[in-house]
Structure 1
């Protein structure tokens, strides 16, 4: 695979930013709207919840294995092409499948391939940002901005067309990701030139070494607790706000505020983030999660929701950026992909999956008070972050 003629004139930052943009053009539709598609295919609410949760719960078992497989290639972008095409195949197959089990299998294939892309591209971006001196948050933040654009665009399209457009959109986006990976991404090597590529057994041994590192495991669990605490918000905030009498357009504005502060944090807070360090950022993320979700449990008025939504910069963006930097520092270079895959599988996978499964019963039984379970997760994450900070200080 070689870069296209135009790609050679683009900086590494621009190439990586384009990858994130195309990728999040798909995620900006699949995350908010895939339940709408499944409902149009006749699935019940419980079936939709199960379909959405299975890939999240499977990530700790499938993600690290795929990362070990990815490290067997010469260039880091090569497995990205195959994974993106796998995601496109899984998504496209949904249009020709029927029933709960058929849609579940297709969604599991598509989401497993797509979500494995995230830690693999993060490894490339973190390394290039360190070597080339750019802010990792700029290309990653461009992806979040694309998420907002795709979200708004699909919302407008669904007002005039059938939900089948959702599958067409996310399939096209996945194919676009494969094209960008093959032709645009920099040819980053998995292993340094002259270094013998480890065989499969050695790569699995490196994965086992990570899991025996107590500090690494604590960092992954801490990040997972803070990120997993968003589950109730992702699943039921719109319903709860609607019950409070907040209009649908204003709910969209509230969600937009959360993503906007996330983008702003990634783009403009890099000097401060480096000064503070990842351990302190995790402490801030855990403390903000404890405050934010406790406040949401008491149905705050609209005016108070805006500053609480601004805490998304800490509960998501700061904790996310901190975990990437911390995992990068703790893992040896030859296990970088596996380390980030474990981090992603737990924080954006298993913990979020458990929270998603619990969110429905919590909503039915307690309404807004269900947020207190998320506050508890955030509080546990805060304890873990404090422990990591103490370890860093010796």
Structure 2
């Protein structure tokens, strides 16, 4: 006798995990080789900076709009699938451009839909896992695994096939992500099913939520922490090279951070439900202060290994804490919009950090990390103030 179709189809969690696994593969390849590919096209460093920066500004402009549209749709899945399909088709234009303006146009249009739906995907997955009693962290961790996989694999592919492989690889990964989106499940709870997060929502309108200082302060605090991590991405390899560390050591050091991030996400369920979300965010802020302070004094490689392994605490722990915090205190009707606001806050802080830190590195070298440490102190104070204003909920893992 044939099994029912529902028994034959993979679970919603497995289908979402498959999508997350493909979601960051393209960015993983781009981080590895995009600057080199652009340089080979004769594009200068200032223009390379613009090609990386313009998509961030475009995503900033659209994040809240996309989040609002997603919350008003029948299901968040619709917006996620449309975004993935657009992000899969647009990069094909990269085959037909070779100069700055054409690449800037298609790279921005390719990055925009994926970046804009990321907070929608996080919010939708969080609500689904809360409803089903499954683990958001494990699902999200596979996104980091996909990212790491193509950080490493892209280098080998370029060695084997030459730099011409980059555009076909990136387009192929974008199309793979689009195909994976088509099998995503419905995320929103049925009308007659109450979710954990909707039992005690703060309010039904975003403006009412963000005017509560105890709610917005932790998100601002971690956004500052997130901005300091963008400093690491942009300048760590340069500073390490100036310190005399060779490229074959720098690569594994960068990979250690991503490995630590994935490990924290996989382990989240073992302890994430035992401590309040804001206390976990505060822990990430305190560890960030210590990490950046140590980085300011150009430590030896063995110390850098230990510092990179703290990435799971300084970034992943705080990120997961924020996603859970948002889900704990908001209702489903503003879930994606609130998550989008959080993403916008992170991006604004990242842009400010990149602009200011580039100038500080020129003046002070590695000692500029002390400014990042001071910024992390400010982030920690924001989170601490929130805890003073409103205590966490008394039930599981939360507030």
Matched, 1:79 2:79: yes
Superposition deviation, residue 140 in structure 1: 0.9
Q: Could you tell me whether the CA contact under 8 Å between 2:298 and 2:366 is conserved in 1?
A: yes
| Distance in 2 separating the partners of 1:88 and 1:56 | 18
Q: Which residue of 1 aligns with 2:95?
A: 95
Larger mean Cα displacement after TM superposition, 98-107 or 279-288:
98-107
Q: Which residue of 1 aligns with 2:381?
A: 383
Q: Which residue of 2 aligns with 1:392?
A: 390
Superposition deviation, residue 90 in structure 1: 3.6
**Could you list the per-position Cα deviations for residues 15-56 of structure 1 after superposition, in whole angstroms to 9, with x for gaps in the alignment?**
111011011222211233322222222221122112212222
Q: Cα distance 1:192–1:48, how it changes in 2: closer, same or farther (>3 A)? A: farther
| Distance in 2 separating the partners of 1:164 and 1:190 | 46
Map of 1:292-303 to 2, 5 A cutoff?
Answer: 292-303=291-302
Matched, 1:289 2:312: no
Q: Helix, strand or coil for the counterpart of 1:27?
A: helix
State the TM-score, normalizing by the size of structure 2.
Answer: 0.88
Superposition deviation, residue 240 in structure 1: 1.6
Superposition deviation, residue 235 in structure 1: 0.8
Q: Helix, strand or coil for the counterpart of 1:52?
A: helix
Q: Which residue of 2 aligns with 1:279?
A: 278
Q: Helix, strand or coil for the counterpart of 2:74?
A: coil
Q: Which residue of 2 aligns with 1:236?
A: 235
Q: Could you tell me whether the CA contact under 8 Å between 2:264 and 2:312 is conserved in 1?
A: yes
Larger mean Cα displacement after TM superposition, 309-318 or 360-369:
360-369
Q: Could you tell me whether the CA contact under 8 Å between 2:71 and 2:335 is conserved in 1?
A: no
Q: Could you tell me whether the CA contact under 8 Å between 1:56 and 1:352 is conserved in 2?
A: no
Map of 1:241-280 to 2, 5 A cutoff?
Answer: 241-280=240-279
| Distance in 2 separating the partners of 1:368 and 1:119 | 33
Matched, 1:334 2:336: no
Q: Which residue of 1 aligns with 2:365?
A: 367
Q: Cα distance 1:258–1:102, how it changes in 2: closer, same or farther (>3 A)? A: same
| Distance in 2 separating the partners of 1:316 and 1:293 | 13
Q: Helix, strand or coil for the counterpart of 1:71?
A: helix
Larger mean Cα displacement after TM superposition, 227-236 or 168-177:
168-177
Q: Which residue of 2 aligns with 1:353?
A: 351
Q: Cα distance 1:32–1:207, how it changes in 2: closer, same or farther (>3 A)? A: farther
Q: Cα distance 1:17–1:74, how it changes in 2: closer, same or farther (>3 A)? A: same
Q: Could you tell me whether the CA contact under 8 Å between 1:58 and 1:350 is conserved in 2?
A: no
Map of 1:311-326 to 2, 5 A cutoff?
Answer: 311-326=310-325
| Distance in 1 separating the partners of 2:54 and 2:352 | 10
State the TM-score, normalizing by the size of structure 1.
Answer: 0.89
Q: Which residue of 2 aligns with 1:129?
A: 129
Q: Helix, strand or coil for the counterpart of 1:124?
A: helix
Superposition deviation, residue 267 in structure 1: 0.8
Superposition deviation, residue 8 in structure 1: 5.0
Superposition deviation, residue 193 in structure 1: 6.5
Q: Cα distance 1:362–1:138, how it changes in 2: closer, same or farther (>3 A)? A: same
Q: Helix, strand or coil for the counterpart of 1:351?
A: helix
| Distance in 2 separating the partners of 1:57 and 1:377 | 22
Superposition deviation, residue 115 in structure 1: 1.2
**Could you list the per-position Cα deviations for residues 276-326 of structure 1 after superposition, in whole angstroms to 9, with x for gaps in the alignment?**
111111111111111111111110011111111111011110110011011
Larger mean Cα displacement after TM superposition, 121-130 or 360-369:
360-369
Superposition deviation, residue 152 in structure 1: 0.6
Gaps of 5+ in 1: 196-204
Q: Which residue of 1 aligns with 2:112?
A: 112
| Distance in 1 separating the partners of 2:135 and 2:46 | 42
Superposition deviation, residue 244 in structure 1: 2.1
Q: Helix, strand or coil for the counterpart of 1:361?
A: helix
Q: Which residue of 2 aligns with 1:178?
A: 178
**Could you list the per-position Cα deviations for residues 47-92 of structure 1 after superposition, in whole angstroms to 9, with x for gaps in the alignment?**
2112212222343321111121223432322211211122234423
Q: Could you tell me whether the CA contact under 8 Å between 1:327 and 1:343 is conserved in 2?
A: no
Gaps of 5+ in 2: 195-203, 393-399
**Could you list the per-position Cα deviations for residues 213-236 of structure 1 after superposition, in whole angstroms to 9, with x for gaps in the alignment?**
433332321121011111221012
Larger mean Cα displacement after TM superposition, 299-308 or 206-215:
206-215
Larger mean Cα displacement after TM superposition, 350-359 or 17-26:
350-359
Q: Which residue of 2 aligns with 1:310?
A: 309
Q: Helix, strand or coil for the counterpart of 1:160?
A: helix
